[in-house]
Amino acid sequence: MLCLFSNSLEAQDIEAPQAPIIDSVTYQFDASASPENSVVIRWKASNSPDVRSYYIKYFNEALGVYKLIDSVDAHTLFYVDKTSVKTETMIQTYVVQAVDSSNNASVHSLKHTVIGLQSNIVQKNCKNKILLDWSAYKGWKEGVEYYQVWSGNSHLWHLDTTLLSSTLSIELDLKSSNSNQYYLVRGISYKNKSSSSNVLTVNLKEDLLPRFINALYANVKGKSIEVEFNLDPQAQINNYQLYRKNISSNKTILLATFSDYKEAVLNYTDTKAKVQKTAYQYYLKLVDDCDNVMDSSNTVTSVYLKGKVFQEPYINQLNWSFFKNNKAENITYSIIRSTSKQGEKTLAQYDYTFPYQDDLEEQNYNEFDGRFYYKIQIKSDLFPEKKVYSNTICLRQTSIIYIPTAFQPFGTEKNRIFKPFCNFISEKNYYFAVYNRWGVKVFETKDKNKGWDGKKDNVLCPVGRYVYFLEYVNSSGKKHSEHGSCFLDY
């Protein structure tokens, strides 16, 4: 139609061109290359002679309108959309408009909706299954005659089955392979037009099995060992068996089973471990419903500490086993000693194990009751916030008691006070008393550091022999008593 203007000889074309006809919308697929999620829209040219370009639009569900993606010239009858696909459903709807040289736009073509394919991987009767379901292709006037289900890899594809157009799902056996497997659905119209769905990439290990099963640590706590594992909670197969290996006997036993375990962390306390006799190795096996082993974790080994007592010189020697976890880095061992008077004290830190000697000769004997508790703290980047320890051992130095037979209050400096010289005894339940020959108590104390200066009531006692009585608790925690005599001289 021409519109004439009274003040102009020009005429303007206001008649819209005819709409193009979409032939198909299909996901782009090249069997020799990796799958892509790009949609190809193909159409037949508008019958109008003066078409200048075509507008390609997609349906924006949020706004409820068709939004322009791009435009192409009149000689181009296809477009590749790489941006508008809804990744959560893989479904998208398209229309095309013709635009003439006067910028008149046709009505939208009939809308076409691409096939969106999704899957779910399950295990049934110890067989791995893939459940495929897809959206129907919409847009062909003649309708969909049937769907084809294809599977394969990047080099070889084969047709699995052909289904009626009313069938939009199927369950297939999942091939056991560590390589990627691909699936797609192809719709065929009654006029032999075709449209392919998006390509699903499936990997048995990645999609069905856990992405990781990581053993973290084995921590000795009291008489038990705590172990921790990090797991993939999204795994479809999540049945685990916990095994323990005795490092000394090399015997392995099944400790526990965890069925359909979907937590991210697995903690277990081994109460049957003999922590004072050996180290233990722990690991998980992943099994299916028929106990077929599908995967396993790394191993983690507890640290076993043992020690030996030496006298003259007084030394406590420690030996400990390595903490073993092939995922752990920057492992260090801190030697921690605990005594009744000093409490816990870190003696040293190393990144290796060797016979460590705690030399007591260089320390004040009076600081110790003869019982020394040792443990090793293990630190690693793998568990920076967790305190992990070996077993705790107690090494006992034999209690040493020496009591002089004579003393002189005005003699040499070392012999002016009469007292027992005690090493490695308890400060508790200590009692020392001195009596004259008539049984009269001239001195008593409960402080092992105090002694008799030869006086009673601040008056010097006469020269002669005196009887003493000593009671104490030794390094084994047993009460002992001794008595004897000493000579007081001036």
Do the two domains 2-113 and 400-488 of this chain adopt the same fold? yes
Distance CA 58, CA 95 (A): 6
pLDDT for the residue numbered 201: 86
Q: Which token pair is 113?
A: 């909706």
pLDDT for the residue numbered 37: 75
Which among 436, 429, 441 has a CA at the least distance from the CA of 487?
436
Domain 305-396 fold is: Immunoglobulin-like (2.60.40)
DSSP conformational letter for 19: P
**CATH number attached to the domain at 2-113:** 2.60.40.10
**CATH number attached to the domain at 400-488:** 2.60.40.1220
pLDDT for the residue numbered 205: 67
Q: Where are the domains of the chain?
A: 2-113, 117-207, 209-301, 305-396, 400-488
For domain 209-301, is the CATH number 3.30.1180.20?
A: no
Compute and round to an integer the Cα radius of gyration of the chain.
Answer: 44
Which among 139, 51, 127 has a CA at the least distance from the CA of 95?
139
One digit per residue, the tens of pLDDT, for the chain of length 490 reads: 444 444 443 456 789 999 999 999 999 875 444 456 789 999 999 999 999 999 999 999 889 999 999 999 999 999 999 888 877 788 999 999 999 999 999 999 999 999 999 998 877 777 788 899 999 999 999 999 999 999 987 678 899 999 999 999 999 988 766 678 899 999 999 999 999 999 988 876 666 788 899 999 999 999 999 999 999 998 877 899 999 999 999 999 999 999 999 999 999 999 999 999 999 999 999 998 788 888 999 999 999 999 999 988 899 999 999 999 999 999 999 999 999 888 999 999 999 888 999 999 888 877 789 999 999 999 999 999 999 999 999 999 999 999 999 999 988 777 899 999 999 999 889 999 999 999 999 999 999 999 999 999 999 999 999 999 999 999 999 999 999 999 999 8
pLDDT for the residue numbered 306: 97
Distance CA 253, CA 270 (A): 12
Which among 138, 62, 52 has a CA at the least distance from the CA of 101?
52
* CATH class label, 117-207: mainly beta
- In sequence order, what are the beta bridge partners of 85? none
